[in-house]
Structure 1
Amino acid sequence: MPSGHNHYLVALSVIVAIQASYVGLYLALRISGAFALHRRFLIAASAITLSVGIWSMHFIGMLSMGMAAQVDYLVLPTLVSLLLCVLVVGIAVYLASLRSNHLLAVAAGVMGLGIATMHYVGMIALNASARISYDPAYVTGSFLIAVTASGLALWLAFSAARRPPLFLCASFLGCAVSGMHYTAMAGTRFDFSLSGSSAATSFISSDTLAVIVSVVAFAISGIFMLTLVPKRKHSDRDSAGPKDADGNFDDFTDTGFSEPAPAADAAAGAEPPSDSVKLLPIEKNGNRFHIAASDVVSVHANAHYTYVFNGRDDLFCTLSISEIFERLPKPAFYRTHRSYIVNLAHVGQVRKSGDAAVAELDSPVRRSVPISRARVAELRQELAAHQARRHSGVA
């Protein structure tokens, strides 16, 4: 039977879980605004950061227990539990980044069940040292805590109308992961009667090993933060996009396109384009075809590439964002930012974000579009005029 816990290591395990949750969610929130290779890097970094932090929390939690006999951890089950955690957390992060309520529920189930399963797979590593038995009530409780807590944390971070500070979301997820672990351990019984009477002396103490694991987890998070979170020059901040709920500037302006003046936008829409001009050339899976303007929900310029969002997928377009804006019919489309265009018919709401605002798109896959500070009031007027035209039957 366990003879108690080292409270310092218990606190360390919770801190590791919260820190990894913060960095993992921070990176995950930027997935929907990223494209191509950068999007894949963010998904991988968020999954690895979260999974390493969650796994490290469980491992440090195991080291915090005082055992009645020497415990040897089998390497294979330990590695399998880590790989399982990376896989399920990666799937959950990707589904949550799509910002669909239905997929968010699936992501919560995948993450919660994966975290709990990872724990019990990792416990197999102790089978060589002790016979383990579980209380079914505690097992059920640990799974319920993992699923419900993961769901609430993902909902607060990705789907809540007013997202609380990210640190609170990360604290909730980190404490939930820790709570799942210690709930499961409360219902775990160890029988050391079959273990050898002589315990081998370990070359490294549990405290030292726990510190090493935590330092590795912090280092992985720090590396991903330094390499994947964009840095903005101070001179660009006055004209940059909106801040998120934590006061951080989002990566919305790394494009290389200059922002046109409102007069240029009006001139571009002075004459309605013909039906042929309303078609935009796009590419998907190596195939080239055209998309009608009515099927365009938003447009995003990312570096030297432009993507057309149809409500579900991001489709590559060979035109620059300025050329696309000239082809799209006005006033149905509005350029909210030098890197973004939205279809006013698909704008669900405009909400404040930092010192600017974002437009929440009404589409099968939820998407937020930044609005330049100078254009927030103008966009609200355009939305009001668009609603008036719809009610009056004018296209």
Structure 2
Amino acid sequence: MNETAASFSYNPILVALSVLVAIQVGYVGISLAIFIPGAFANRRRLLIAGSATTLAVGIWSMHFIGMLAITTAITIDYAVLPTLLSFFVCGLVTGIAIYLASLRSQRLLVLAAIAMGLGITTMHYVGMMAIHSVAHLSHDPAYMLASVSIAIAASGLALWLAFSADRRPPLFLCAVVLGCAVSGMHYVAMAGTTMHVAGSDATTVKSVISSDMLAIIVSVIACSISAVFMLALIPTDANDLKGDAGWTSAISVATPQEAAVTRGERAPGEGQVLAAAAGSAIDFLPIEKNGNRFQIAADEIASVHSNAHYTYIFNGRDDLFCPLSITDIANRLQKTTFFRTHRSYIVNLDFVTRIKKTGDAGVAELDTPVRRTVPVSRARMVALRQELAAFKAANPTGPSET
């Protein structure tokens, strides 16, 4: 049977809608990702899942809307299995890439960008298989290579902006660049695609649901999912400011109730901790791991994080549960070495390599085997820089700030 190349054009309104969806989810995905390096335990996992899911849904939706924007003389039906498989591929590689990039290694960041870019490209071409029942597709190798390059570049840009940029542009500008890059990858790939159909199939049949309506439904679902993650996981400035007011009193003394709770959680060797007077330094803190209790030396503590009713001590590799409250810990750590950067965070100045501004606040980067950043409230930025400068001057052998 003879095949002919079917020409196609685009509905400009749906093309614009696909770009807007990519920009919107890119904004939310990057907004969530920038909080990952400083998050711990369940919140860290939720942020990774939220950022990856938002980006995956948005990128897939952009490509699907882009396909719905095609106007051609033939009926395009989408097979369910390749369509779902393309979404699965996008979600999997995006989640892996976000996780690798969150480890804050430049080598892993490059690997994550390549994996995410190749995954997006694979998602596109797997999704294109969904129309093979009505048309045979051929792809120009030059356009395929260009689309892969754009996908890797777009992925690298998004991950770099979220995890490694020293001075990040406004998030909206980042989202616009990312959205345009992801959309560009799709339309460049489509520019090199040719549809071949049998002469008898080149007919026009009205679908049960129009492409316009289906595109609107997909875009509303994608934007709604990203909005839910944004509202649920991104903290508000009001909450941060509320915590600032309690720093002075929180660092000065522990409440009797907290001391009572601490006494009830006594671990081997913990008597030294409980007997320490407020403001006096100690050498060890109690920790728990796999149901067993141990002690960790103060100089091995890179940071401390309070997550709701639980406190975790980061030793450079793992987050270890501590039965003490963060207020109690702040009272017992050496004030010349440890600094409370946020109502929920304490950092060991000996591990801080750099302080950089992110939006209205900032983060302190730690020199640890597992790269980590600690949030710094804007009200504490100046004080932290002064304390770090004094500490580095007194301890010149430690890691230097860049």
TM range (shorter): 0.7 to 0.9
CA contact 1:300–1:340 (8 Å) conserved in 2? yes
Tell me by how many angstroms 1:200 deviates: 3.7
| TM score, norm. by length of structure 1 | 0.85
SS at match of 1:66: strand
Select which of 217, 226, 235 maps to 1:221.
Answer: 226
Select which of 380, 383, 388 maps to 2:388.
Answer: 383
Higher relative contact order (CA 8 A, sep 6+): 2
CA contact 2:340–2:347 (8 Å) conserved in 1? yes
Tell me by how many angstroms 1:169 deviates: 1.7
Tell me by how many angstroms 1:132 deviates: 0.9
Corresponding position: 1:316 with 2:312: no
Tell me by how many angstroms 1:259 deviates: 5.0
Tell me by how many angstroms 1:238 deviates: 4.4
Q: CA-to-partner distance for each residue in 1:24-53, whole Å, 9 max, x for gaps?
A: 111222223333333333222222211111
Q: Which residues of structure 2 form unaligned runs of 5+?
A: 1-5, 255-276
Moved more, 335-344 or 6-15: 335-344
CA contact 2:251–2:330 (8 Å) conserved in 1? no
Kindly tell me: are residues 295 and 369 of structure 1, through their superposed partners in 2, closer, same or farther at Cα, counting changes over 3 Å? same
Tell me by how many angstroms 1:209 deviates: 1.4
CA contact 1:84–1:114 (8 Å) conserved in 2? yes
Kindly tell me: are residues 294 and 157 of structure 1, through their superposed partners in 2, closer, same or farther at Cα, counting changes over 3 Å? same
Corresponding position: 1:145 with 2:134: no
Q: Which residues of structure 1 form unaligned runs of 5+?
A: 242-252
Tell me by how many angstroms 1:288 deviates: 4.1
Q: CA-to-partner distance for each residue in 1:285-306, whole Å, 9 max, x for gaps?
A: 5554332222211111111111
- Cross-structure match for 1:296: 301
Structure 1 Cα separation of the partners of residues 178 and 397 of structure 2: 48
Kindly tell me: are residues 286 and 65 of structure 1, through their superposed partners in 2, closer, same or farther at Cα, counting changes over 3 Å? farther
- Cross-structure match for 2:171: 166
CA contact 1:260–1:338 (8 Å) conserved in 2? no
What root-mean-square deviation, in Å, do the aligned CA atoms of Structure 1 and Structure 2 show?
2.6
Select which of 78, 81, 86 maps to 1:76.
Answer: 81
Q: CA-to-partner distance for each residue in 1:205-259, whole Å, 9 max, x for gaps?
A: 21221111111111212222233334565xx664546xxxxxxxxxxx9xxx865
CA contact 1:2–1:65 (8 Å) conserved in 2? no
Moved more, 114-123 or 57-66: 57-66
Read off the aligned partner of 1:59 and give its amino acid letter: F
Tell me by how many angstroms 1:202 deviates: 0.8
SS at match of 2:208: coil
Tell me by how many angstroms 1:135 deviates: 0.9
Select which of 207, 212, 223 maps to 1:202.
Answer: 207
Corresponding position: 1:305 with 2:294: no
Q: How does 1:34-183 map to 2 (within 5 A)?
A: 34-183=39-188
CA contact 1:130–1:195 (8 Å) conserved in 2? no
- Cross-structure match for 2:270: none
Corresponding position: 1:260 with 2:220: no
Structure 1 Cα separation of the partners of residues 361 and 213 of structure 2: 47
Moved more, 177-186 or 20-29: 20-29
SS at match of 1:4: strand
| TM score, norm. by length of structure 2 | 0.84
SS at match of 1:192: strand
Moved more, 307-316 or 15-24: 307-316
CA contact 2:28–2:230 (8 Å) conserved in 1? yes
- Cross-structure match for 2:372: 367
Tell me by how many angstroms 1:325 deviates: 2.7
CA contact 1:100–1:364 (8 Å) conserved in 2? no
Structure 2 Cα separation of the partners of residues 5 and 343 of structure 1: 56
Identity among equivalent positions (%) equals: 61
Structure 1 Cα separation of the partners of residues 98 and 57 of structure 2: 14
- Cross-structure match for 1:244: none
CA contact 2:252–2:331 (8 Å) conserved in 1? no
Tell me by how many angstroms 1:334 deviates: 2.0
SS at match of 2:295: strand
- Cross-structure match for 1:245: none
CA contact 2:37–2:163 (8 Å) conserved in 1? no
Read off the aligned partner of 1:209 and give its amino acid letter: L
Kindly tell me: are residues 49 and 295 of structure 1, through their superposed partners in 2, closer, same or farther at Cα, counting changes over 3 Å? same
Tell me by how many angstroms 1:126 deviates: 0.9
Select which of 279, 293, 316 maps to 2:284.
Answer: 279
Q: How many residues align?
A: 371
Structure 1 Cα separation of the partners of residues 211 and 331 of structure 2: 65
CA contact 2:252–2:279 (8 Å) conserved in 1? no
